[in-house]
A and B are shown apart, each in its own frame.
Chain A
């Protein structure tokens, strides 16, 4: 009997330990399950034929994010059909920024005619998982051996305020390279943006 209890607690301990490890292991997975402005939930696995994704952490309130809706629509129309859809995620702390509430997100997506999902990351887990620090912050995920790998992190392009003066279209250049099975020549850029305030 005592031996059985011992065996049982050993089993429990092993289970707990392995659970701990599996949570750790999941960190390398970039998938999420977040509510879209349309009311549906969206995950990466909803796109079985996608070669990659353009994931953009953005929000309503940030003046820099406000410069990009049209360019995000453009990126999605261009790359969705090539197997690289764009997904926008708002991970803003809605207690600090009421303008980023889910209702306001719905309004924003409607007013700006978003042609891509705009997801609410209320728990801020997706932002933490990607390491998103500010808005807008773009990532390119690419499928390699059935795993998602980050191939680019940074700005969408090199001129927020004046779209007609953009010299480097970082995101679209990187996607073009990946579609041609080339190495991304600029895998990381830095930009000014609104810091994502993580609730403690």
Chain B
């Protein structure tokens, strides 16, 4: 397949940020350590207008990661062919340095559920997810990265651990992985995995990109801490610690600061990128 010789992604092994149009002028004028940007693919699935024009200007300056949030790769039903066509159109004119999606489902029966919903890790799900990724990679003519989810619960039907499942998907499809360290921490505090053990066995050699994000702290039914993957805060200290432990083993990897809600002014976001950049500069792969 075309693009299979590109490595896991063509993003530079440096810090990037999730692009918000309100930061457009700032990011061009004073990018600081920001070496690449990530967009949500769906926001650019339109015919034209200022959003597309802005993205074109940005893409002329920075490598772009095209991160889908709505393909619903884990759907029990078939992939939405129209949506896949729209993604293929975007990827063909944007020619992003990386394309990624989530291990999740978000559509059902023609309706879009506006969230990344969980999957049982069993053979049937594995076969379906792998088929869908084959279809996506075939349609796009390139490899994608698949992101690990944040979990609030599990399925009694699961027969394998999440890392094992992700590794099996990558093995069957040739896709790479996007490691979201905040998601690992959120899932661990929420009790669905142990963070260090999860990362110990995570196939870092398949990782083309890392995500770091902030979360929200709530309480569960028994008064314990429950983390919500809200992307509305600075990256938390335990997530930086886990990130450092990953980098120590993986060497530098393209690392994204994701901040999607209560988005701060540019200097705050840039300072998060600076912290990641310093850690990337200090590690040796």
Partners in one complex: no
The interface of chain A, by Cβ under 8 A from chain B, is none
